[in-house]
Amino acid sequence: MIGYIYIIYGFNNDGDILTYYGSTTYFQKRKSEHLNPKSRSKLVNKIMTDCECNWFIKIVEKINYNYRFELLIRENEYIKNRRCLNVIPPISKEWASVLIDRHFIKEQELPSTCELIYF
Protein backbone atom coordinates (compact mmCIF):
# COMPACT_ATOMS: atom_id res chain seq x y z
CA MET A 1 0.00 0.00 0.00
CA ILE A 2 1.06 3.60 -0.48
CA GLY A 3 1.11 6.18 2.30
CA TYR A 4 2.24 9.77 2.62
CA ILE A 5 4.12 11.83 5.18
CA TYR A 6 3.02 15.44 4.90
CA ILE A 7 3.93 18.75 6.46
CA ILE A 8 1.78 21.75 7.29
CA TYR A 9 3.89 24.85 7.75
CA GLY A 10 3.70 28.59 7.76
CA PHE A 11 5.40 31.77 8.87
CA ASN A 12 3.83 33.78 11.67
CA ASN A 13 3.99 37.59 11.98
CA ASP A 14 7.33 37.35 13.82
CA GLY A 15 8.86 35.45 10.89
CA ASP A 16 9.04 32.16 12.83
CA ILE A 17 8.20 28.96 10.98
CA LEU A 18 5.57 26.72 12.55
CA THR A 19 5.47 23.10 11.36
CA TYR A 20 3.33 20.02 11.91
CA TYR A 21 3.95 16.52 10.50
CA GLY A 22 1.30 13.93 9.77
CA SER A 23 0.75 10.74 7.83
CA THR A 24 -2.14 9.42 5.80
CA THR A 25 -3.11 6.93 3.12
CA TYR A 26 -5.46 9.41 1.39
CA PHE A 27 -3.67 12.75 1.11
CA GLN A 28 -6.39 14.77 -0.66
CA LYS A 29 -9.03 13.65 1.86
CA ARG A 30 -6.74 14.44 4.81
CA LYS A 31 -5.87 17.81 3.29
CA SER A 32 -9.54 18.74 3.01
CA GLU A 33 -10.08 17.68 6.65
CA HIS A 34 -7.30 20.06 7.72
CA LEU A 35 -8.93 22.86 5.75
CA ASN A 36 -12.18 22.40 7.69
CA PRO A 37 -11.94 24.36 10.98
CA LYS A 38 -14.29 21.89 12.72
CA SER A 39 -12.13 18.84 12.03
CA ARG A 40 -8.58 20.15 12.49
CA SER A 41 -6.48 19.65 15.60
CA LYS A 42 -5.44 22.45 17.96
CA LEU A 43 -1.87 22.35 16.63
CA VAL A 44 -2.94 22.66 13.00
CA ASN A 45 -5.41 25.37 13.96
CA LYS A 46 -2.53 27.28 15.63
CA ILE A 47 -0.51 27.22 12.40
CA MET A 48 -3.46 28.28 10.25
CA THR A 49 -4.53 31.01 12.68
CA ASP A 50 -1.08 32.40 13.55
CA CYS A 51 0.15 32.28 9.97
CA GLU A 52 -3.07 33.65 8.43
CA CYS A 53 -2.70 33.18 4.66
CA ASN A 54 0.96 32.17 4.74
CA TRP A 55 0.67 28.41 5.32
CA PHE A 56 1.16 25.39 3.09
CA ILE A 57 0.38 21.66 3.05
CA LYS A 58 2.83 19.46 1.12
CA ILE A 59 3.75 15.81 0.78
CA VAL A 60 7.33 15.27 1.94
CA GLU A 61 7.56 11.53 1.38
CA LYS A 62 5.70 8.76 -0.42
CA ILE A 63 6.07 5.35 1.24
CA ASN A 64 5.22 1.83 0.17
CA TYR A 65 4.27 -0.09 3.31
CA ASN A 66 2.75 -3.39 4.37
CA TYR A 67 1.39 -2.40 7.77
CA ARG A 68 0.00 0.97 8.92
CA PHE A 69 2.43 1.10 11.83
CA GLU A 70 5.34 1.30 9.35
CA LEU A 71 3.90 4.61 8.16
CA LEU A 72 3.53 5.80 11.76
CA ILE A 73 7.13 4.84 12.55
CA ARG A 74 8.32 6.94 9.61
CA GLU A 75 6.16 9.88 10.71
CA ASN A 76 7.66 9.52 14.17
CA GLU A 77 11.16 9.89 12.68
CA TYR A 78 10.21 13.25 11.17
CA ILE A 79 8.75 14.45 14.47
CA LYS A 80 11.72 13.23 16.49
CA ASN A 81 14.40 14.70 14.20
CA ARG A 82 12.89 18.04 13.23
CA ARG A 83 11.58 21.08 15.06
CA CYS A 84 7.78 20.96 15.00
CA LEU A 85 4.65 21.54 17.04
CA ASN A 86 3.83 17.83 17.35
CA VAL A 87 4.09 16.88 21.03
CA ILE A 88 2.64 13.35 21.05
CA PRO A 89 4.45 10.83 18.84
CA PRO A 90 2.13 8.74 16.63
CA ILE A 91 3.78 5.53 17.83
CA SER A 92 6.03 4.59 20.74
CA LYS A 93 8.90 2.11 20.53
CA GLU A 94 7.04 -0.17 22.95
CA TRP A 95 3.91 -0.18 20.81
CA ALA A 96 5.98 -0.81 17.67
CA SER A 97 7.62 -3.80 19.36
CA VAL A 98 4.22 -5.26 20.23
CA LEU A 99 3.00 -4.82 16.65
CA ILE A 100 6.14 -6.38 15.23
CA ASP A 101 5.67 -9.36 17.54
CA ARG A 102 1.98 -9.74 16.61
CA HIS A 103 2.68 -9.67 12.89
CA PHE A 104 5.70 -11.95 13.16
CA ILE A 105 7.84 -9.42 11.33
CA LYS A 106 11.56 -9.13 11.90
CA GLU A 107 12.46 -5.78 13.42
CA GLN A 108 13.44 -3.20 10.83
CA GLU A 109 14.11 0.51 11.02
CA LEU A 110 12.06 1.67 8.02
CA PRO A 111 10.42 0.17 4.97
CA SER A 112 13.09 -0.24 2.28
CA THR A 113 10.80 1.16 -0.39
CA CYS A 114 10.72 4.84 0.65
CA GLU A 115 10.73 7.44 -2.08
CA LEU A 116 11.57 11.06 -1.25
CA ILE A 117 9.35 13.43 -3.22
CA TYR A 118 10.34 16.94 -2.12
CA PHE A 119 11.23 19.02 0.90
CATH of the domain at 78: 3.40.1440
Q: What's the DSSP call for residue 47?
A: H
| Count of structural domains within the chain | 1
**pLDDT cut 70: percent of the chain above it:** 75
DSSP string, 54-77: -EEEEEEEEEE-SSHHHHHHHHHH
pLDDT level of residue 111 (50, 70, 90 thresholds): very low
Q: For the chain, how far is it from start to end, CA to CA, in angstroms? A: 22
Task: Give the span between the Cα atoms of 111 and 1, in whole angstroms.
Answer: 12
pLDDT digits (tens, 9 = 90+) for 43-99: 777 777 777 767 889 999 999 988 888 888 899 889 988 988 887 777 766 666 666
**pLDDT cut 90: percent of the chain above it:** 21
| Boundaries of domain holding 82 | 2-116
Task: Give the span between the Cα atoms of 1 and 109, in whole angstroms.
Answer: 18
Q: Residue 32's closest CA among 44, 16, 14?
A: 44
Above 60 in pLDDT, residue 5? yes
Residues written for the chain: 119
Query: What is each CA distance from 51 to 10, 18, 56, in whole angstroms?
Result: 6, 8, 10
Task: Give the span between the Cα atoms of 51 and 17, in whole angstroms.
Answer: 9
